[in-house]
Amino acid sequence: MSIVHVPNTRDYWGEVTGTHLIKTTMTVNQDEQIRKFLHFNDNSAMIPRGEKGHDRLFKIRPIIELMRSRFQTIPVEECVSVDEQICSTKARSYLKQYMPNKPHKYGYKLFVISGISGYAYDFEIFTGDENEPEKRVTGEEDLGASANVVVRLSRILPRNMNHKLYCDNYYTSLPLLVWLHKQGIYSLGTVRRNRVPDCKLPSEAELKKMARGASVERVATVDGVDISNVVWKDNKSVMLLSTLAGQQPIHEAGRSKEGSTDQMAKDDYFRLAQLAFIIIGDDTGIVKSIENLPDMHSSLSMKQRKLECHPNMHSKRETSSQSRDVK
């Protein structure tokens, strides 16, 4: 039934729209009888709505936990990403979400952590009560509703094993990157400008005066963690935070534009930024093509770059790379 879609379940037994395999397996009355009494949990043990401990997914909780445990039997890849997905439906449910920017605008929202292969290692169905204090594991900080999603999904990552986690600007914040780094997990993500307090990077007006491909970096220490904050001008400005990579080294990368090749100066950091800005909404995450990107320990390290900078915490260094015009 998940392969052949028909408007109504009874159509699988229809004379014209029916499927022979289904019709010969059971009758329509048998199918409806099974679905009528199908249960995955003991309803008598469900805590009523409005009381403490109520689980909105109680009736399917055993199925969810079984799937999660099976997904986590596969060893986690080095590079993973966190993003949301939509399980499309127009069923009448208070858990249904409306996301106008998604291909399927109505459905159940899931937060997923997946690897380069596209394999999902864990997921979380959004119900609105995941951020309750009693559901927080001991030792986890409250970093805000969006950042806490990454905190919960990153529980499956082994600590201090140099895993690299990528996310978009819905999740990224300074406290999140600091917390992940203290857990031994490197991270990189696009970030909203208002989440970087006292930001010393050029304003939008100043970026408009720069050539396409220009970039500026600031490196600062936040709670003992070195964090690179970079803005890159493409069609729009892209701002990133990272404990994983910096602006250097800079390379040239080709970009095709209506049959012609426009050469732009882009470093490895911003090749990743372009992936984060464009591909992060894909079901497989943003880490599809970043296996060869340098990390914080390659080329010029974060600490070496900081030594060249002004000691001001928020204004460590400014590097601008101008695009090259190729005729």
pLDDT at 319: 38
Question: Which distant-in-sequence residues (6+ apart) come within 8 Å of 112 by Cβ?
Answer: 82, 83, 84, 85, 120, 122, 123, 124, 153, 283
User: Mean pLDDT over residues 46-58, rounded?
Assistant: 88
Q: What are phi and psi of 322, to 5 degrees?
A: -95, 145
The most distant pair of C-alpha atoms in the chain lies apart, rounded to whole Å, by 79
- How does DSSP classify residue 78? S
In which band, very low, low, confident or very high, does the pLDDT at 6 lie, cut at 50, 70 and 90?
confident
Question: Does residue 75 or residue 323 have the better pLDDT?
Answer: 75
- Give this prediction's pTM: 0.72
User: In this structure, are residues 123 and 83 in contact, taking their beta carbons and an 8 Å threshold?
Assistant: no
CB atoms within 10 A of CB 236: 9
Query: Nearest CA to 271 among 257, 285, 291?
Result: 291
Give the containing element (helix H, strand E) for 181: helix 174-182
Report d(CA 224, CA 182) in Å as an integer: 9
Q: What per-residue confidence (pLDDT) applies to 213?
A: 80
List the structure tokens of 180.
């992940």
Q: Tell me whether the omega of the peptide bond preceding residue 249 falls within 30 degrees of 0, making it cis.
A: yes
pLDDT at 311 over 80: no
**pLDDT at residue 271 greater than cutoff 60:** no
Q: Taking the C-alpha atoms of 235, 238, 244 and 250 in order, what is their torsion angle to the nearest 10 degrees? A: 40
The predicted-structure confidence for 86-106, as pLDDT tens digits, reads as follows: 888 888 888 898 888 888 889
Looking at every residue in the chain, the average pLDDT score rounds to: 78
Domain ranges of the chain: 1-38, 77-307
Mean pLDDT of 7-25: 88
Q: How confident is the model at residue 254 (pLDDT cuts 50, 70, 90)?
A: low
213-230 pLDDT, tens digit per residue, is 888 888 888 898 999 898
Kindly state the average pLDDT of the residues 143-152: 91
- Measured CA to CA, the distance from residue 215 to residue 247 in angstroms comes to 8
Burial tier of 141 (Cβ tally within 10 Å: 0-12, 13-18, 19+): middle
Angle, alpha carbons 142-148-154 (nearest 5°): 120
Is 60 exceeded by the pLDDT of residue 9?
yes
